[in-house]
Amino acid sequence: MIEVVAELSRGPVFLAGEALECVVTVTNPLPPTATSASSEALAWASAQIHCQFHASESRVALPPPDSSQPDVQPESQTVFLPHRGERGQCILSTPPKILFCDLRLDPGESKSYSYSEVLPIEGPPSFRGQSVKYVYKLTIGCQRVNSPITLLRVPLRVLVLTGLQDIRFPQDEAVAPSSPFLEEDEGGKKDSWLAELAGERLMAATSCRSLHLYNISDGRGKVGTFGIFKSVYRLGEDVVGTLNLGEGTVACLQFSVSLQTEERVQPEYQRRRRTGGIPSVSHVTHARHQESCLHTTRTSFSLPIPLSSTPGFCTAIVSLKWRLHFEFVTSREPGLVLLPPLEQPEPVTWTGPEQVPVDTFSWDLPIKVLPTSPTLASYAAPGPSTSTITI
């Protein structure tokens, strides 16, 4: 029996273009007092990163797969295929890397191997939607002699920042280590430079503040004015808005605002809808605020963007966009008053009306949500960084 442990040194969240580092430890768990005949051996071990794509058959119409390239490994083969037994299609993978060959471990002996690979920058982000799913995994394959391959899978979360694929790593002294006594390899310098560049771009895109005002009206007049200071956010930020109802000519009884994502299948991949069929557009609500606002002059709300959610993106098959979805309930009666008179000659019993004729309408305001620091996402939404398998 051999125990194989894979540990991600920095957590399971990465930015596309970063280098993933994983330590693979192989151990013979038998006590050292066991006889030498209890030594264990592995023929080889290899590692590879891949992205699995799965689409809902009721929502997405995909072209038939190429039958000349099957993605299922027959049991009689000994070829390392990381996506063997996985649902969907493998749309992206890195070249496999051999960790070791002909490894023999005595009882109680353990050896560790380091695996490093740059996550492809051209791939989609990790996403689990109602129409499609993009799932990243690091798969480590091990095999004994004359035995089937055993696969150890480590789930990953990949964030994508658009535009980084067009930037080249500088080859000048600006990226050299600040101390001549510290040595850093080329991959480490590029990784830190990319993370710093991504942080600067995110800060520049999300730090700009400028008040945007929107007049909200229905068919009978003005309801109020909505104000928001920016339209580009990062994961983990709060969307803060204000609503001024004092200038409205139509009484607003209640409003709600929802922070939503809109998942839309591209037209060429939409499955034709039948009567009562499943639509090609789906919405998910991540946060919601509701308030009764009659006689309210000014109010505000704050909606947090979950760190575990997916930033907006677009592929050939699906797009994901963020929005604020407003719903208003307004009175049909002009000059509606639902409060008792302030001055009464004698005490009276006052009750509000049992019924008020109302109208409802909705309004959508698009916003943009970008990734955040992978380290922050790892701490706030921790996932498994260690996976273990026994062979």
Task: State the DSSP H helix or E strand holding residue 23, giving kind and residue range, or none if neither.
Answer: strand 19-27
Q: What is the dihedral of CA 157, 162, 166, 168, to 10 degrees?
A: -50
* Of the candidates 192, 194, 168, the residue with the CA atom closest to the CA atom of residue 182: 192
Are 20 and 8 a contacting pair, CB within 8 Å? yes
Report how far residue 171's alpha carbon sits from residue 50's, in angstroms, rounded to the nearest whole number. 29
Predicted pLDDT at 364: 97
Note the pTM of the prediction, 2 decimals: 0.82
> What is the CA angle 266-306-227, rounded to 5?
85
Length of the chain equals: 391
Predicted pLDDT at 204: 84
Domains, in order of start, for the chain: 3-63+78-165+190-199+380-390 (2.60.40.640), 208-335+356-370 (2.60.40.640)
Residue 106 neighbours by CB distance under 10 Å? 14
Please tell me whether residue 366 adopts helix, strand or coil conformation: strand
Amino acid, single-letter form, for residue 286: H
Report how far residue 13's alpha carbon sits from residue 15's, in angstroms, rounded to the nearest whole number. 7
Predicted pLDDT at 83: 74
Task: State the DSSP H helix or E strand holding residue 380, giving kind and residue range, or none if neither.
Answer: helix 374-380
Predicted pLDDT at 39: 84
Predicted pLDDT at 341: 61
Report how far residue 381's alpha carbon sits from residue 349's, in angstroms, rounded to the nearest whole number. 55
Cβ burial of 330 (10 Å; 0-12, 13-18, 19+) is buried
pLDDT per position as a tens digit, 351-383: 767 788 899 999 999 999 999 988 888 876 666
pLDDT per position as a tens digit, 195-204: 677 778 888 8
* Of the candidates 15, 12, 126, 10, the residue with the CA atom closest to the CA atom of residue 372: 15
Are 69 and 275 a contacting pair, CB within 8 Å? no
Predicted pLDDT at 74: 47
Residue 186 — φ and ψ, nearest 5°? -60, -40
Helix, strand, coil fractions of the chain, as percent rounded to 5: 10, 45, 45
| pLDDT by position in tens, the chain (length 391) | 889 999 998 889 999 988 999 999 999 888 877 766 678 889 999 999 999 999 998 888 887 765 545 444 444 445 777 777 788 899 999 999 999 999 998 888 899 999 999 999 889 999 999 999 999 999 999 988 888 888 999 999 999 987 555 444 444 444 344 444 334 444 445 556 666 777 788 888 888 888 999 999 988 899 999 999 999 999 999 999 999 998 888 989 999 999 999 999 999 998 876 555 567 899 999 999 999 988 889 999 999 999 999 999 999 999 999 999 999 999 887 766 666 566 667 777 777 677 888 999 999 999 999 999 888 888 766 666 788 888 8
Beta-strand relationship, 358-370 and 232-234: parallel
Report how far residue 60's alpha carbon sits from residue 65's, in angstroms, rounded to the nearest whole number. 14
Predicted pLDDT at 174: 41
Alpha helices in 67-219 (DSSP H): 186-206
Predicted pLDDT at 137: 94
